[in-house]
Structure 1
């Protein structure tokens, strides 16, 4: 039985990832900051709720301790929690605005990865999937044929670019763990006011593929639902 922990899983991409992985036979630990929303989502899906605020060191440590006490191991960590940061004009952007976005989208991944790494290392096939965005790719955001090239969101895009680099560095530094990063694509979620043309099922294709592919696959990859994106 594969045990999977997903952050930010009470709605959107995280919730759909949980639903699909439960259908694949995973034991899913549904991580969320809000106890009421998290408990309700977990109950509806057949997951176990674990409270976690990825911006709080103590909360992340408590979540890892909870999993250690109940499951004793972890096979897959999906770092999904993220925020958009609001529509703030570039000329009005403050360091505090950017720091708030990075605190969730990048530092939250650092906190969670560090806290859960000892549990992952008890698995025969430990996996980390980091949910980034095509908006974090220099190549994609400079491709005039892609909708991502039309988006101006300095805090969000830079946080997701940093997450892509963080993921590749983790993959090099932690060869005993398979660590990859995904672009879900422009998916209809609360993050974009449900404006995306993709369904959450389509948006979770790459995450589910990485969480279920099994041993022998590569680390340090960047994927979308069509497959490897590469770094060009």
Structure 2
């Protein structure tokens, strides 16, 4: 029986490496990409490495695009085992008092509303799988506890759009986990850590491959695995545990 995984924003960066790593486990990966050309190029690279991969044109801010993608997956596979909501944008960074509301709305459209729209569209397919997994790629910058730790690495960060959107995303994750609590579906938020990608002009100290490992772990949890957690790389942890639960 084919195991299928849809990864949004999978044509590059952490999304691409997530698709690559899942494919290496024998999973059929559906590369969600807003730009068909870039999606096709990513799929070609994956197939050259032996992956079972296919492109799915998907703009998470476009209702028609989402509906078409869901219908395509339904027609071809009839179910979906893994959904990784990876697509995201950074917006702009600056003092909260200088927040541009247009940028704030744009960030939320992709990073929050897009996740809800895609998840709702794919949920009927996920329910048909034996034990589906939903992974929402979040960030430690959305952790209020870390942001308010004066001795931690997040203290210098003070911007509204991206951090607050990731805070909202962890709550979105928790709410879906509650709704699906008594089902085989597990819903978790992934914290890949500060990875060097186009997203941040390659300024991160972790690799995209390392970031993808977090999503892959949550996407392949066993039946007794957790749900409703924010889990991943723990930047600044002082207890020696590099990976674990990230504070809300």
> How much is the aligned-residue C-alpha RMSD, in angstroms?
1.4
The one of 70, 77, 83 aligned to 1:71: 77
**1:228 aligns to 2:241 (yes or no):** no
- Contact 2:195/2:206 (8 A) holds in 1: yes
After TM superposition, the score normalised by the length of structure 1 is 0.95
Q: SS where residue 87 of structure 2 aligns?
A: coil
Say whether residues 1:168 and 2:174 are aligned partners.
yes
Q: Deviating runs (4+, > 6 A) in structure 1?
A: none
Deviation per residue, 1:135-194 (Å, 9 max, x gap): 000111122343222122210000000000110111001222200001110110111111
For residue 117 of structure 2, what is the aligned residue in structure 1? 111
Corresponding residue for 2:43?
A: 42
Structure 1, gaps ≥5 residues long = none
Gaps of 5+ in 2: 48-52, 234-241
CA–CA distance in structure 2, aligned partners of residues 196 and 230 of structure 1? 19
Match of 1:101 among 100, 104, 107: 107
Cα shift at 1:120: 0.3
Aligned length: 232
Kindly indicate whether the alpha-carbon contact (under 8 Å) linking 1:221 and 1:228 is maintained by their aligned counterparts in 2: no
Deviations 1:76-117 (A, max 9, x none): 000000000023553332322211000000000000000000
TM-score, structure 2 as length reference:
0.89
The more displaced of 200-209 and 54-63 is 200-209
Which residue pairs with 1:219 in the alignment?
227
